[in-house]
Amino acid sequence: MSNLPERRRGTSLLAALAGILAAGVVLGTAELAGAFFRASATPIVAMGSTFIDFTPPWMKDFAIATFGTNDKLALLVGMGVTITLLAAVLGIVAFRRWVLGVAGVLLMGAIILACVLTRAGSSLPDAVPTVVGTAAGLLALRWLTARLRRAAAPAATPAVSPPDAARGGRLDASAGERTTVAITEPRGHATSSAAGSAAVRGSTSRRGFFAAAGVTAVVAAAAAGGGRLLAGARTNIAAVRDSLQFPAPASPAPALPAGVQSPVAGVTPFVTPNGDFYRIDTALSVPQLTTEDWVLRVHGMVEEEFELSFQDLLDADLIERHITLTCVSNPVGGYLAGNAKWLGYPLREVLARAKPLDGADMVLSTSSDGFSASTPLPVLQDDRDAILAIAMNGEPLPVEHGFPVRMVVPGLFGYVSATKWVVDLEVTRFADRTAYWTDRGWSEKGPIKTMARVEVPESFASVDAGQVMIGGVAWSQQRGIGKVEVSVDGGDWEDVTLAAEASVDTWRQWSHELTLGSGLHSVRARATDRVDGLQTEERAETVPDGASGWQTVQFTVK
Ligand SMILES: Nc1nc2c(c(=O)[nH]1)N[C@H]1C(S)=C(S)[C@@H](COP(=O)(O)O)O[C@H]1N2
Ligand SMILES: [Mo]
């Protein structure tokens, strides 16, 4: 009977399985109950969002650099692994000592509740999904561990009730020691035959455990799936988006001049299609706001506080502009930039109606999910096209890009200006209020840095010998790109051919033709803007106010 310790190990594995399945029940039933509450009332979203909020700047940029826009998927996978391991341990603990198991599950429930109730705009009823889930998970855990105990108990031991779990476990172990001695004693025959019948009984009750485990898994999966379907059906944003009709803008976008696109094959399209537009935000679950739900509150240091509805925006004089958006987390040569045609209402008009009081120097914009950005007040009052955008490239804003309303401000990085799902504008002072990323180590002010990017050839590409085409984009919103130069293999700087300029708020493409012999080559690029001059050579990391430096690309000519 030397297989007894082995069997005990097997039992622990099954206890771990019971814990994992019970965690599945917690999450699945909470998902189902959560369909009737806001997304951040479900454990996964609440815990994941809380984790995101505690992410230090270096980890945020590490995640973006490593996983790109799959950073949220990576977080979910990491959470899944962590939850599975914790649940496995809790399963084993609960099997050995039920009371400790209960304490562990309740502690987890309390942690989830803390995450849920500290999300922006949450209220006490949002606790319901977690409470329901924790209760259902405890029931499942109790049922599974009771089944397992029956399967694991030796013949002499009657089915143990949960509070006796620890004793049950120890009995098992001492039975193992006894059988080792039994080999030399006549009594051993009795013991091993008793163990033999226990094994028979154990295998039927093991089957019982597996049946219970199967049922639990199905219940958890059905609850989770049902919850997702229900939540989707309850907030059918796709239908709201599809039914939207926009008025013709009072001020349409100036027609794009011919030749805005670089002739070099492989350079990004001048206008980024919505589906390819980079996405950066802290929203683990994308806010689902309908146009009916949406209200913008304008308040703070103003003479007049008021609210704007979506219809108010549709009724107003809208403008349409091409504006290039860039992210502070973009490394030199990176792709966290996009150019779109935005339709929206000038923020200048909103502020003119509100009439800011003397001393105000900032507008704190807040999204429905608690993200915030601090934008210098003058930037939103001057004649640049800072807007409350409602359409992107002729379509309602995609949900991930801020549906139904977001801010777009030429010349500033997104983190200090481009609030998606914006619902609140507070006129205030930098001295009084701080914003989401400024609380996490990023600079208070975030003007865009002039940047040239080489797109063709790509780093480490291998290109055909002869005429080599190089090309890319450069941006300096509000200042405009006046010149782009390249240095080949460390040689003198040469001007490249600039594509046509749409406006100072859009990126500008460029191209250059070279004759290169086979071997390894490098191209370095730098831009000059029309206000501040040459792009700085000084290398800076993304934190705290954006990367800088001249990009170099190495490639091989065959
Ligand atoms: N609500 C909300 N708005 C947000 C953010 C966010 O995390 N939440 N991120 C900002 C940042 S850092 C950038 S760069 C832009 C990106 O906009 P996009 O995802 O449409 O490209 O949105 C900004 N607006
Ligand atoms: Mo960003």
Atom number in ligand 1 closest to CA 367: 1
CA 136/CA 182 separation, integer angstroms: 44
Contacts of 322 (CB under 8 A, 6+ apart): 253, 256, 271, 339, 340, 341, 342, 502, 503, 505, 506
pLDDT score of 423 more than 70: yes
Average pLDDT of the segment spanning 198-217? 83
Q: Is the CB of 370 under 6 A from ligand 1?
A: no
Determine the distance separating the centroid of ligand 1 and the alpha carbon of 278, expressed in angstroms.
10
Average pLDDT of the segment spanning 443-469? 96
Return the residue whose CA atom lies nearest to atom 18 of ligand 1.
279
pLDDT score of 65 more than 90: no
Q: How confident is the model at residue 111 (pLDDT cuts 50, 70, 90)?
A: very high
pLDDT score of 215 more than 90: yes
What pLDDT score does 169 carry? 38
Probe residue for ligand 1, chosen from 52, 409, 415 as the CB with the greatest number of ligand atoms within 8 Å: 415
Determine the distance separating the centroid of ligand 2 and the alpha carbon of 325, expressed in angstroms.
9
Atom number in ligand 1 closest to CA 279: 19
What pLDDT score does 70 carry? 85
Q: Which fold has domain 451-557?
A: Immunoglobulin-like (2.60.40)
Lowest mean pLDDT of 172-181, 523-532, 545-554, name the range.
Answer: 172-181
Average pLDDT of the segment spanning 526-553? 97
Determine the distance separating the centroid of ligand 1 and the alpha carbon of 35, expressed in angstroms.
26
- pLDDT tens figures, 34-46: 999 999 999 999 9
Which superfamily does CATH assign the domain made up of 274-440 to? Answer: Oxidoreductase, molybdopterin-binding domain (3.90.420.10)
What are the beta bridge partners of residue 75?
none
- CB-based burial of residue 481 (10 Å sphere; 0-12 exposed, 13-18 middle, 19+ buried)? buried
The DSSP code sequence of 158-190 is PPPPGGGHHHHHHHHHHHHHHHHHHTTSTHHHH
Q: Is the CB of 282 under 6 A from ligand 1?
A: yes
What pLDDT score does 200 carry? 60
Q: How confident is the model at residue 194 (pLDDT cuts 50, 70, 90)?
A: low
CA 67/CA 377 separation, integer angstroms: 35
Average pLDDT of the segment spanning 127-154? 94
Atom number in ligand 1 closest to CA 287: 1
Return the residue whose CA atom lies nearest to atom 13 of ligand 1.
414
Q: How confident is the model at residue 199 (pLDDT cuts 50, 70, 90)?
A: low
CA 418/CA 326 separation, integer angstroms: 10
pLDDT score of 161 more than 60: no
CA 313, 315, 317, 323 dihedral sign is positive
What pLDDT score does 198 carry? 56
Average pLDDT of the segment spanning 438-454? 96
Top pLDDT among 170 and 453 is at: 453
Q: Is the CB of 71 under 6 A from ligand 1?
A: no
Give the Cβ contact number of residue 383 at 10 Å: 7
Determine the distance separating the centroid of ligand 2 and the alpha carbon of 545, expressed in angstroms.
10
CA 410/CA 366 separation, integer angstroms: 18
- pLDDT tens figures, 297-334: 999 999 999 999 999 999 999 999 999 999 999 999 99
What pLDDT score does 68 carry? 80
CA 504/CA 507 separation, integer angstroms: 8
CA 346/CA 317 separation, integer angstroms: 9
Return the residue whose CA atom lies nearest to atom 15 of ligand 1.
414
Residues of the chain with CATH 3.90.420.10: 274-440
Average pLDDT of the segment spanning 475-497? 98
Determine the distance separating the centroid of ligand 2 and the alpha carbon of 395, expressed in angstroms.
22
Probe residue for ligand 1, chosen from 70, 272, 280 as the CB with the greatest number of ligand atoms within 8 Å: 280
Determine the distance separating the centroid of ligand 2 and the alpha carbon of 410, expressed in angstroms.
14
Backbone angles phi and psi of 449, in degrees to 5: -95, 140
Return the residue whose CA atom lies nearest to atom 24 of ligand 1.
419
Return the residue whose CA atom lies nearest to atom 4 of ligand 1.
419
Return the residue whose CA atom lies nearest to atom 16 of ligand 1.
280
Contact (CB, 8 A) for 175 and 11: no
What pLDDT score does 192 carry? 46
pLDDT score of 173 more than 50: no
Q: How confident is the model at residue 64 (pLDDT cuts 50, 70, 90)?
A: confident
Q: How confident is the model at residue 157 (pLDDT cuts 50, 70, 90)?
A: very low
CA 444/CA 461 separation, integer angstroms: 39
What pLDDT score does 9 carry? 82
Residues of the chain with CATH 2.60.40.650: 451-557
Element (H, E) at 447: none
Lowest mean pLDDT of 22-36, 81-95, 223-237, 536-550, name the range.
Answer: 223-237
What pLDDT score does 177 carry? 35
Atom number in ligand 1 closest to CA 278: 21
Query: Structure tokens of 152?
Result: 């694991």
* Average pLDDT across the chain, whole number: 91
Determine the distance separating the centroid of ligand 2 and the alpha carbon of 258, expressed in angstroms.
31
- pLDDT tens figures, 356-412: 999 999 999 999 999 999 999 999 999 999 999 999 999 999 999 999 999 999 999
Q: Is the CB of 510 under 6 A from ligand 1?
A: no
Determine the distance separating the centroid of ligand 2 and the alpha carbon of 282, expressed in angstroms.
10
Probe residue for ligand 1, chosen from 420, 424, 442, 543 as the CB with the greatest number of ligand atoms within 8 Å: 420
Determine the distance separating the centroid of ligand 2 and the alpha carbon of 59, expressed in angstroms.
14
Q: How confident is the model at residue 3 (pLDDT cuts 50, 70, 90)?
A: low
Q: Which one of the ligands is nearest to 326 CA?
A: 1
- pLDDT tens figures, 427-439: 999 999 999 999 9
CA 450/CA 483 separation, integer angstroms: 11
What are the beta bridge partners of residue 55?
none
Determine the distance separating the centroid of ligand 2 and the alpha carbon of 447, expressed in angstroms.
12
Top pLDDT among 155 and 480 is at: 480
Return the residue whose CA atom lies nearest to atom 20 of ligand 1.
401
pLDDT score of 113 more than 90: yes
**One-letter amino acid of 200:** V
What pLDDT score does 202 carry? 64
- Of 354, 489, 359, 363, whose CA–CA distance to 419 is shortest? 363
